[in-house]
A and B are shown apart, each in its own frame.
Chain A
Amino acid sequence: MRLDCAAVRDLLIDDALGQAQLELAADARAHAESCAACRGEVAALLATIARLREPASFALSPAARSRLAASLDAIDACAPPRRSGAVVRLLDGARFRVVLLGHQLRTSRKWRLRVAAALLPLLFGIGLLLRGRAARPAARGAVVDLPRDLSPDTRSAGGEASPPPSLVGWQPKLDEPKEPVPPAPTQGFDELDLRSRQRVTEELVKVNQIEEDALARLRAGEKRPTPQTAPERGGAPAEAPRAANDRSAVERALDWLARNQRPDGSWTSGSGEPGLDTGVTALALLALVADGHLGSRVADGRDAALDAAADRAIACLIERQDRRDGRFRGGSDEAAQLFCHSVSCLALLEAHVRARAAGGLAGEPAAREQERIERALTRLEIDLDVLLGGGTSGARCAGQNAAWAALALATARHAGVDFHLKAGTERRVDRVLEKLRGDQPELVSATARTIQAMADRSGRTTPPPDPAWSAAVERVLGHPELAEPSLRFLVASALCARSAEWERFEATLASRLLALQSPQAGYFDSGRVWECFGGGVAADTALAVLTLTVRRRQEAWEQARLRAK
């Protein structure tokens, strides 16, 4: 490799600090030996570093050490006796549960109901005991056993979640005789006040709707699509194929999302990976924005409930952003954190640009929101640099993260709004997609095509042939119901830019995808576990909406982008 003198000097500084790549450093040293100008300069720079690193001769004053020892002794004297590791873990676990319960009580009406329902009979029983009457067992409260994807917020403050009760994975055992089910205890329910009972009833109706829906599909001989069962159906949808880009399907899916939004504006990751609520919320917001629901600031009067859902989702994501480092909290490890952060960046970015273009956001609020997004994007760039620098080499789900992070940065780059990204953003995006391709090549390849289509709207440039891209298209076109929802969305986004292919593709994709939609409730459940981060019905539904509205989303985005310019 040919290096210029300035690059050689920088590389040798990195090398002296132990931060350079070995091959590059060897090239730089070879250059420095042959170049007289570099030789002298490099020697001076290295001498400067050596001088800076010389251990300073700070002999501590004799009193310093004794003062410190006295302070530490004082801390030890005041500290309670230390406990063994097992006891510490036990107490930590108990403390965590108490904090979690407190958090749930503060944030979730459902949890307040549950606790009230559990406590009321207990208090009643204690009252009876105290009165000297015959004791009777405290009745169980009317605890609503919500399905996995409708369970109340079980998130801890740190974004981790305990696995919620399952319904999505539930299959009735039709061949086994069922024992008569004893009537559910209702005493606790009866003791609730009228408003609480109404709320519980509403929840039960919601749950029943989904259960009945699942049963109706089973009675009709339709099984939940799984990688094993769907090809057996010959890919044929269980119900009559609906029109491609079916508006009513999209509306019903968004209605389901709005109905199942939690009071704090988030959605649960349900049967997906626990703790991904932030990422799922961002996906749901993307779906709402894709269909033009930008919140009350740009309300078009089409559907106030969906605008309100978008408002709550935006507020929820903003609330979850760490003011200091710009990161959106969520995910139980670094990989899941990056996923949540990337998708949140993308969702807020799209909502911001489109709201500005529609005239619903201007002046100081727009500047404040832009600054918030910029801070998040800077954090994203830092995280990607760490990923590229090998800080998390072999990281879990690197391909999925590369895809969403690259999409967020490229979208910011092409937003028509100056987001003050680093000069090397395009290069960084390319490197991310190139370096992390091995993990999920099809997904990464589809992302690269989507980004390319975003930059080249006219479609003049023909991308080089790519086997991973061909495999992705084949997989999504052949069996869209079996493809990972994010891959489906990204392939559709890339193909949408090439109209001839897209028209052929759209009808197939839409009709097969609509077969996954619940006819009554409106949600989509592919029954697929993602290759990374799990799925969940809310995420499936959001990504299905994004796939079905891909053309509309791109057209709206292009208009917003041009107007912003």
Chain B
Amino acid sequence: MPDDDRELMLRARSGSREAFDALVDRWQVRLVGFFFRQCGDREFAEDCSQEVLVRLYGARDRYTPYARFSTFLFTIARNHWIDVARARRVRPDLRTGRGAEDDEGEDPLSRLPSQELLPPARAVLSDDVARLRAALLKLPETLRDVVELGVIQALPYAEVSALLSIPVGTVKSRVHAAVRALRMLLSEGDER
């Protein structure tokens, strides 16, 4: 994404509502997508994205252009989802996930999330979106996080590393494992 997101955010910090509206135009749909892939409920995803944008607006005075704007935004989004998940008891420990070394040498598919804990998908999905989401849900939590941030949201590995508090090498190995696993899961889904 262009660097001028930071510029817009700085203008919003100085009191420009138009600048913040421009940021909303750019990021709201992506935020809904982020939450939708987590919960599978479009209305709920919209509510979450609204909550995040309201939090962002409330925190604009404290914004410092230290990292990319996307990193700042997804840190808030992730924290919000952690709060929601804690409340729903869907994801007991999203922040820390597994230890950085836990996943090395381990088959990522051996740690599937428990499907019954996930909320039901109420919205009607297109086939492709549904297959993609189903494949993502089959990934363990640690891999799903790096896919969401590193692949779908295209954050640099170093920023994913800082956001998830894991080494860059671990981000890399998790991305590689996740893409390989998704390639297999999606091809299985396509064959059915």
Contacts and interface: CB of A to CB of B under 8 A. Distances in A.
Interface of A: 9-10, 13-14, 17-19, 44-45, 47-49, 51-53, 55-58, 60-61, 64-65, 67-68, 71-72, 75-76, 82, 85, 324-326, 378-379, 381-382, 385-386, 389, 391, 420, 422-424
B53 interface: yes
Contact of B161 (A56, A382, A420, A423): A382
B100 A422 contact: yes
Contacts of B99: 420
B154 interface: yes
5 contacts: A10-B172, A14-B175, A58-B33, A68-B28, A382-B161
Most buried by B among A52, A55, A72: A52
Given A58-B32, A58-B42, A60-B32, A386 B162 contact: yes
A253 to B, nearest CB: 38
A424 B169 contact: yes
B84 interface: no
Contact of A17 (B58, B150, B169, B187): B150
Contacts of A17: 150-151, 154, 175
Contacts of B32: 58, 60, 64
A58 B46 CA distance: 10
B165 A382 contact: yes
Interface of B: 14-15, 17, 20, 24, 28-29, 32-33, 36, 42-43, 45-46, 49-50, 53-54, 57-58, 95, 99-101, 104, 126, 128-129, 132, 147, 150-152, 154, 156-158, 161-162, 165-170, 172, 175-176, 179-180, 182-183, 186-187
Q: Is the interface of B mostly helix, strand, loop or mixed?
A: helix
Nearest to B176: A10
A379 B49 CA distance: 30
Given A61-B46, A72-B57, A382-B162, A422 B167 contact: yes
Given A13-B175, A68-B53, A71-B50, A52 B183 contact: no
A55 B49 CA distance: 17
Contacts of B17: 72, 76
B169 A44 contact: no
Contacts of B43: 61
Nearest to B104: A423
B67 to A, nearest CB: 10
A19 B157 contact: yes
Contacts of A72: 17, 20, 53-54, 57
Contacts of B179: 13, 45, 48-49
The 7 A-B residue pairs with the shortest CB-CB distance in the complex, in nearest-first order:
A385-B168, A48-B183, A56-B33, A82-B15, A10-B176, A64-B46, A391-B158
A382 B166 contact: yes
A314 B186 CA distance: 52
A429 to B, nearest CB: 14
B129 A56 contact: yes
Contacts of A57: 126, 129
A52 B147 contact: yes
A44 B183 contact: yes
Nearest to A61: B46
B152 A13 contact: no
A68 B24 contact: yes
Given A58-B36, A382-B165, A68 B50 contact: yes
A382 B151 contact: no
A325 to B, nearest CB: 5
Contact of A52 (B20, B28, B151, B165): B151
Contacts of A47: 183
